């Protein structure tokens, strides 16, 4: 299964842009001490006792998250307004970045910045397992960007090598810098714990959704935004899919996605490429499945169509909500998780 599809922001959490880029060609990783151990949580992270006023003690031991239910919430009603139940200092943001400048003219040619998040074992059930997965993904992401960087410079060197030897290194500056100012950034944007129940079942499904947003620019009029989402099972810290939560078949899900997208088109058709309902229905039914970009909200599962999928770049991400009752599940509880931001600022100056 693809695990980067599900997206949220029930509660937007603190995010920050990283730190001043290091010297040319070097990378910098900023992490908390003893990241793997339970005592990796910073000294100023709140303890379970400090959380008693906001969260019941049962939620701090990683076993009874499903029991936290807002007292004034009317269950199984999409009109319910859930009270905010934020948890302070549930972890911290970590990041890795690199940038390269031209040795001849000093212009910045490429930069990347990748964030992840380290959750407190005091607050998040199965935090160690979740942290390990998120950390490895950040490292893999940074390595891929480094590899892209190496390939970029190798291709430019091969393309202009003869001219550089005859005209001097300034030739390359004049001829490829205008297309070489590239950057790729990915930021942590929020985390929310959800608890669901399936129709006809007594078991509850506690999960943690962790959201990231990014932007990739490779030249031209604009870059491309992207999103990356993780959904974790809070019983064991493993990655799960939205398919593991919903109580409908993929065929039923495709049909619902197509119907609700057409309904959204009827309300605001200007953001879509097509002006034909049948065409939109067919496109959605054909391409949307459980692996498509989507996230949870208070009202239901939100499918998001990225720029150029169903609409132009100016339309941005197009969200379409399918109510939970249509999907055979109900929301029992939902509360956001605040994260302490990383330090400093990171600048890309071209």
In a domain, 78, yes or no: yes
Residue whose token pair is 């030739």: 171
Residues 260 and 234 in one domain: no
* Extended beta strands in 199-260, E state: 204-217, 224-233
Question: How many structural domains does the chain have?
Answer: 2
Residues 288 and 214 in one domain: no
The domain that holds 289 is classified in CATH as 3.90.640.20
In a domain, 151, yes or no: yes
Residues 114 and 197 in one domain: yes
Residues 282 and 146 in one domain: no
> What global pTM score does this model have?
0.73
In a domain, 236, yes or no: yes
Residues 196 and 261 in one domain: no
In a domain, 4, yes or no: no
In a domain, 343, yes or no: no
The pLDDT of residue 61? 39
3-state SS assignment for residue 338: coil
The pLDDT of residue 164? 79
The pLDDT of residue 221? 80
Residues 268 and 124 in one domain: no
Measured N-to-C along each axis, helices 277-287 and 250-267 cross at an angle, to the nearest 10 degrees, of 150
Residues 95 and 210 in one domain: yes
In a domain, 15, yes or no: no
Residues 198 and 280 in one domain: no
The pLDDT of residue 166? 86
Residues 233 and 256 in one domain: no
Could you tell me whether strands 182-198 and 204-217 are parallel, antiparallel, or unpaired per DSSP bridges?
A: antiparallel
Instruction: List beta partners, residue 95.
Output: 30, 115
Residues 130 and 220 in one domain: yes
Q: What is the DSSP letter of 221?
A: S
Could you tell me whether strands 108-119 and 182-198 are parallel, antiparallel, or unpaired per DSSP bridges?
A: parallel
Residues 231 and 285 in one domain: no
The pLDDT of residue 194? 94
Residues 135 and 159 in one domain: yes
Query: Are the CB atoms for 196 and 332 separated by under 8 Å?
Result: yes
In a domain, 158, yes or no: yes
Q: In terms of residue numbers, what domain contains 67? A: 27-241+332-336
Averages of pLDDT over each 10 residues, the chain, 350 residues = 34 33 40 37 32 36 36 42 64 88 80 92 92 96 84 74 81 69 86 93 93 86 91 95 94 97 95 94 96 94 96 95 96 88 50
Q: Length of the chain in residues, anyone?
A: 350
In a domain, 71, yes or no: yes
Q: What is the DSSP letter of 145?
A: H
The pLDDT of residue 191? 94
The pLDDT of residue 28? 45
Residue whose token pair is 């091969």: 158
3-state SS assignment for residue 226: strand
């Amino acid at each position: 299964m693809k695990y980067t599809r599900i997206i949220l922001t029930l509660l937007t959490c603190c995010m920050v842009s990283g730190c001043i880029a290091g010297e040319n060609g070097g990378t910098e990783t900023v992490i908390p001490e003893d990241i793997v151990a339970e005592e990796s949580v910073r000294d100023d992270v709140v303890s379970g006792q400090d959380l008693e006023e906001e969260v019941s003690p049962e939620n701090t031991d990683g076993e009874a998250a499903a029991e936290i239910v807002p007292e004034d919430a009317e269950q199984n009603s999409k009109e319910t307004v859930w009270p905010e139940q934020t948890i302070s200092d549930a972890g911290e943001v970590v990041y890795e970045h690199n940038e390269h400048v031209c040795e001849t003219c000093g212009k910045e040619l490429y930069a990347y910045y990748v964030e992840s998040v380290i959750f407190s074992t005091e607050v998040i059930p199965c935090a160690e397992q979740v942290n390990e997965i998120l950390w490895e993904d950040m490292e893999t992401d940074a390595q891929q960007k480094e590899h892209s960087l190496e390939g970029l410079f190798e291709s430019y060197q091969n393309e202009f090598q003869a001219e550089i030897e005859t005209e001097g290194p300034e030739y390359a500056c004049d001829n490829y810098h205008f297309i070489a100012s590239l950057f790729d950034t990915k930021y942590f944007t929020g985390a929310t714990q959800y608890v669901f129940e399936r129709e006809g079942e007594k078991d509850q499904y506690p999960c943690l959704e962790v959201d990231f947003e990014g932007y990739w620019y490779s030249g031209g009029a604009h870059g491309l935004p992207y999103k990356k989402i993780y959904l974790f099972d809070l019983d064991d810290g493993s990655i799960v899919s939205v398919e593991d939560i919903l109580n409908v078949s993929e065929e039923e899900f495709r049909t619902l996605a197509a119907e609700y997208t057409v309904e959204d088109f009827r309300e605001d058709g200007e953001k879509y490429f097509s002006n034909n309902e049948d065409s939109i229905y067919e496109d959605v039914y054909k391409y949307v499945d459980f692996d498509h970009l989507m996230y949870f909200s208070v009202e239901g599962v939100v499918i998001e169509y990225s720029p150029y999928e169903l609409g132009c770049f100016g339309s941005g991400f197009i969200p379409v909500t399918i109510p939970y009752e249509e999907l055979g599940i109900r929301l029992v509880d939902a509360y956001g998780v605040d994260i302490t931001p990383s330090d400093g600022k990171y600048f890309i100056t071209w």
